[in-house]
Structure formats: C-alpha cells, structure tokens
C-alpha cells in the first residue's frame, strides 16, 4: 500500500492517484469481507455449540426422564410383587389354618370315637375285673385269674387287670408271675402307686428287701398317704436290721392311721412304745 502511494505521488499522475484510491478501497472491502466472514464463522460455531449444548441438554433431560420412568416402573413392579407375595402368604396361611382346623376336628372326632369305644369296651372289662375281685375276696384265686385273663383279652392295655391278676398270683405264692404282671402294669401306667406297692410285697416275700424298699419308695413318692407302703417298708428295714428307719416308718403308719395294728405291732417288736 505504501509503495503504491509513493509511486502515485512520484508519477504526479491523476490516474495513478485514482488507482491508488481504488486499490485502497478494494483492500478495505476485502479486509471488511474477511472480518465479516470470520464473524459469521464465529457466529456459526457459537450457534452450533449452542445447538449441540441444547441437544445434549435435551438428551440428558430425556435420559433422566426415562431413568425416572424406569425407576418408577421398577418400583411399581416391586410393589405389585410384594402385594402378590403377601396375598399368596395370606392365602397359604388361610389354607394351612383351614387344614389344621380340619385335622384338629377330625382328630378330636376320632379321639371321641375311640374314647366312646374304649368306654363301652371297658364297661365289659371292668365287669370281668369285678368278677375277679369278688373271687379274690372269696379266696378263689385261680378262678379270679381266669376272669382277669378274660378282661385282658378284651383290652390288653388295661393296667388294672394285670395289677389285680398279679394280686391273685401273689396270693397263690407265685411271686415271680405276680412281679411279671406288676411290671406290665407299670409299663402301661408308670404312675400306678398301688402297683409299686404290690410289687414290693412280692419282693418282700422273696426276701429281696432292697428291691422291695425301692418299690415302696416310689409308691410313697406317688402317693404320700399310702400308709401300707410305709408299714411294709418298715418291715423291710426291720429285716435288714435298720431299726431306726423301721421305727420311723411304723410311726408314720400310726400318724396316718392312728391305732393301726400293723404299725403298733411293728413298734412293739422293736421294743418301742407306740
């Protein structure tokens, strides 16, 4: 530009000056055009950046919306599953309760039916036992055993029939057979105090005094007012030479049954005033 200006001035020509001015104008227009183009490019890039940011924001918003929708859907599904499981649990519990109630009702009905059947059966069993008891009172022990046998055939789980048959065997001095019957009695009814007492009598007659004492102890534990057990235990202690224990038992007999002849005789034998 400066060279053109110098040439125009040096030439002193009008046309040279005009060309210079035209060139200046053209250069200015080119520079302005370049500036406008650069500004337009910057504006375009900014517009593109804004558009990209806007699209990114829209994508983010859409993704967030979709995520929220997915979370909500998942929560709804989980809540529905919980409701379903709870409903199934309640239904299962109701079915179980219904089955349990039905089973209980059937069991109760069966128990009542069995009880009624046993009651009817035991009427006959007790009748046979009563016959045996009457025969024992008459001293007809063998015939009594026959009646007890009939009672046992009617109901093999009726403890009293074995106990009373054991008494008949004992009265026949068949102590070991009596003990077998008492053993069966106690298997069927472990809390039958009189069966321990009766077995103790058989052991006493067999001179198995310590075993007799064990049975009397159990009879007394189950029935502390069974004065006969104290008396017979006193006799067993007496046979073992345990005088003080025997005296204590005989006195216990008299405390339960004042004037009882067994207790009185026991104390007299041991030289103690009743």
Q: What is the pLDDT of residues 167-177, one digit of tens each?
A: 999 999 999 99
Q: Which CATH architecture has domain 196-274?
A: Alpha Horseshoe (1.25)
Residues 6 or more apart whose CB falls under 8 angstroms from that of 122 comprise 155, 158
CA distance 238 to 77: 87
Q: What pLDDT does 118 receive? A: 66
- Of 233, 178, 192, 194, which Cα lies nearest the Cα of 210? 233
- CA pair distance 219, 98, nearest whole angstrom: 46
Question: What are the residues whose beta carbons fall under 8 Å from the beta carbon of 43, sequence distance 6 or more?
Answer: none
Is the pLDDT higher at 6 or at 159? 159
Q: What is the pLDDT of residue 10?
A: 57
Q: Which of 47-51, 104-108, 116-120, 253-257 has the lowest mean pLDDT?
A: 116-120
Closest by CA to 197, choosing from 216, 225, 170, 221, is 216
Instruction: Give the CA-trace dihedral at 259, 260, 266, 268, to 10 degrees.
Output: 20
Domain boundaries, the chain: 92-190, 196-274
Looking at 1.10.357.10, 3.60.20.10, 1.25.40.10, 1.10.10.10, the CATH number of the domain 92-190 comes to: 1.25.40.10
Please give the pLDDT value at position 100.
80
- Phi, psi angle pair for 109, to nearest 5°: -65, -40
- Give the helix ranges, DSSP H, for the chain: 2-11, 14-137, 141-154, 159-171, 175-188, 193-205, 209-222, 227-239, 243-256, 261-269
pTM for the structure as a whole = 0.62
Tens of pLDDT along 51-93?
A: 888 889 888 888 888 888 888 889 888 888 898 999 899 888 8
Query: Measuring CA to CA, which residue among 171, 170, 215, 165 is closest to residue 194?
Result: 215
Q: What are the distances in angstroms from CA 207 to CA 185, 240, 270? A: 22, 10, 19
Higher pLDDT, 100 or 212: 212
pLDDT at res. 5: 53
119-165: per-residue pLDDT in tens? Answer: 776 899 999 999 999 999 999 999 999 999 999 999 999 999 999 99
pLDDT at 219 over 60: yes
Return the number of other C-beta atoms located less than 10 Å from residue 186's C-beta: 19
Q: CA-to-CA distance for 190 and 159, rounded, in angstroms?
A: 10
CATH topology match: 92-190 vs 196-274:
yes
């Amino acid at each position: 530009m400066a060279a053109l200006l110098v040439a125009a001035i040096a030439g002193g020509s009008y046309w040279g000056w005009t060309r210079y001015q035209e060139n200046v104008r053209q250069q200015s227009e080119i520079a302005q055009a370049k500036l406008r183009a650069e500004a337009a490019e910057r504006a375009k890039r900014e517009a593109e950046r804004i558009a990209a940011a806007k699209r990114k924001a829209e994508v983010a918003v859409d993704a967030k919306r979709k995520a929220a929708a997915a979370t909500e859907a998942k929560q709804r599904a989980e809540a529905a599953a919980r409701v379903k499981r709870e409903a199934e649990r309640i239904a299962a519990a109701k079915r179980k309760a219904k089955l349990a109630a039905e089973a209980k009702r059937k069991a109760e009905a069966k128990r009542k039916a069995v009880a009624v059947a046993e009651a009817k059966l035991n009427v006959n069993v007790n009748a046979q036992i009563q016959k045996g008891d009457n025969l024992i009172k008459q001293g007809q022990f063998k015939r009594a055993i026959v009646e007890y046998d009939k009672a046992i055939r009617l109901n093999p789980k009726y403890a009293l029939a074995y106990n009373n048959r054991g008494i008949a065997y004992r009265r026949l001095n068949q102590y070991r057979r009596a003990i077998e019957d008492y053993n069966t009695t106690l298997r069927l009814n472990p809390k039958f105090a009189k069966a321990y007492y009766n077995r103790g009598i058989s052991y006493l007659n067999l001179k198995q005094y310590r075993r007799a004492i064990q049975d009397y102890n159990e009879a007394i534990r189950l029935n502390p007012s069974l004065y006969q057990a104290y008396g017979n235990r006193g006799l067993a202690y007496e046979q073992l030479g345990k005088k003080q224990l025997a005296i204590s038992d005989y006195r216990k007999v008299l405390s339960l049954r004042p004037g009882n002849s067994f207790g009185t005789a026991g104390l007299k034998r041991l030289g103690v005033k009743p």
